[in-house]
Amino acid sequence: MITKEEIIDKVNGMLIDNEIQKSIVNRVEHLLKSGSIDLADYEEGSYILPKILLSAALSWEADQYAPSNKENIKTLKNLLII
């Protein structure tokens, strides 16, 4: 049985190397280059568009870690309603 400490260590390990952060920033840059956003529609200094882009990038990143088998998908869905 995996321990809580091992789980926390593994999660910390995935976050410490900044690979997730790099991936998210790269995704935001990709979205900005896509031409699907008109920057003129957003006020300078506003956090609205950065939050929208971060939300989209986080959603994409979450898909990269999502389980693929039915049992683990069920576990993920149960956790998402908590």
The yes-or-no verdict on residue 17 having pLDDT over 80 is no
Residue pair 19/13 in contact by the 8 Å Cβ criterion: no
Question: Which residue's entry shows tokens 């971060």?
Answer: 54
Q: How far is CA 20 from CA 49, 70, 75, 82, in A?
A: 20, 25, 22, 24
37 class by beta-carbon count within 10 Å (0-12 exposed, 13-18 middle, 19+ buried): middle
- Which is more confident, 16 or 35? 35
In this structure, which amino acid lies at residue 75?
Answer: T
Q: Within 10 Å of residue 50's Cβ, how many Cβ atoms?
A: 11
The pLDDT tens digits of the residues spanning 19-50 come to 889 999 999 999 999 999 999 999 999 999 99
Residue pair 31/57 in contact by the 8 Å Cβ criterion: yes
